[in-house]
Structure 1
Amino acid sequence: MRVLIVEDEPMAQQNLARALTQHYPDLQIVGATGSVRETVEWLRTPGNIADVIFMDVELSDGDCFEIFRQVDVSARVVMTTAYDSYAVRAFEVNSIDYLLKPIDPAALKRAVERCRQRDAGFDAERLLAAIRAPRAYKQRYIVRFNDRIVPVKSEEIAYFYSEEKNTYLVTEDGSRYVMDLSLDILSEELDAKRFFRISRNCIISMPAIASVVKYQGNRLKIVARPRPAFEPVVSRSRVDDFLRWLEGEA
């Protein structure tokens, strides 16, 4: 089967490609895109054919449902996302499975097996299971500060941000630590009810948000505590999801 991976996070894209090629030799990865525009162009290009699409919901220039509005998708689609709030919309576009990040190997195996079945369709019971299944989130991180090793509980973290190829963790008391992990990996490990990735460069916790103000270009700027050394701005494509998350609807 020919597979197209639609994922805007390079690390997540590489991890999924590695898992598929290592464990499912009958799958051939024929392409990888990271945006609505790139995916539509790929699907419209003569000769580009995919039997299965592993499709992340939130892409760099919008959500994946815009792809279905612009082009007919005949391939089987497996949705991948860190949020369970898109499950109903996934059902509406006839996805055959719905994988919550971080993707469990058993769930990936189930999805691949469903892709191999000619008569596979979306299973409502599996939809409910995806929404209700308990997930294990990262409870603490081990960081290094000079010659010390410091454990930091997730509940003590205000936000993460990246700057000049480094990733930083900032705690509620203002302490800052350099981390070895990328924001791509962190976004899959954290509790989505407490943390939200507002942009490519920042993940913020709910308690760290003091207020939100309108910003240029229909974006939002967060007034955070402790005060960050950068402007925490919500990307335009994530504003609606951010507001739903802030209201507790995500």
Structure 2
Amino acid sequence: MNHEGKPLTKPAETGTWASIRETLKVAIQALLIALVVRTLLFQPFNIPSGSLVPTLLIGDYLFVSKYSYGYSKFSLPLSEYIPIEANGRIWAAEPKRGDIAVFKLPKDNATDYIKRVIGLPGDKIQMIDGILNINGQPVKRERIADYETVDSYGQVAKVPQYLETLPGGVTHRVIERDGDNGFWDRTELYTVPAGHFFMMGDNRDNSTDSRDLANVGYVPFANFVGRAEMIFFSVDEGTPAWQIWNWPAHARWSRLFTTIH
């Protein structure tokens, strides 16, 4: 009550402050929705290297489904700073042979890697003269038209390309930049431990993957982030995606919204 006995009323909020408050409210809601989507459903990634050429190219931007394999510590943003052990998953569903998956590098549990699932727990894997062998059997591969790429000297070169069919029926393309005589075309026999997976790139002579036990090795199931699902944008190597004025000439329009196999 005021001194005249009339009830006090709250001053009307000005249009400017009401607009600011509503804008902040919408922004906070949008951020929360984005955080939930990124943590539980889909996370965007870009391809920085050529290890999965010809399937994925440098400059591809893709969505990775976080729910495909269930959730572990590494499903969370900034997981490397979370002081808990990664010792399992909830709603777990194991990766299938042939999946292209993002995982945290076991060496540091922080760096994102993307490779194809080649070996399942208990499998025996070996490269013999460029041929992938799984559990003592050579994997079928069929020579197709050469793939045009860039060699180690930056020169355009045509390299052998194959259709490889994994046990279970997944067929995908691989290239052998150095023919069947590359460094990783003759390897020891690997036995995949329980709870781990063997990952390889489709660019067999230009991929640091599970064949390199010192730098990648076997990947624990807990380290999987998600499965690559779809390319939502793609731009020529060396062209930043934010330079929208370059899109007409440098965007790879034919790759947009293509599913990943």
TM range (shorter): under 0.3
Structure 1 length-normalised TM: 0.24
Higher relative contact order (CA 8 A, sep 6+): 2
The structure with the largest helix share of the pair is 1
Structure 2 length-normalised TM: 0.23
Of the two, which has the highest radius of gyration? 2
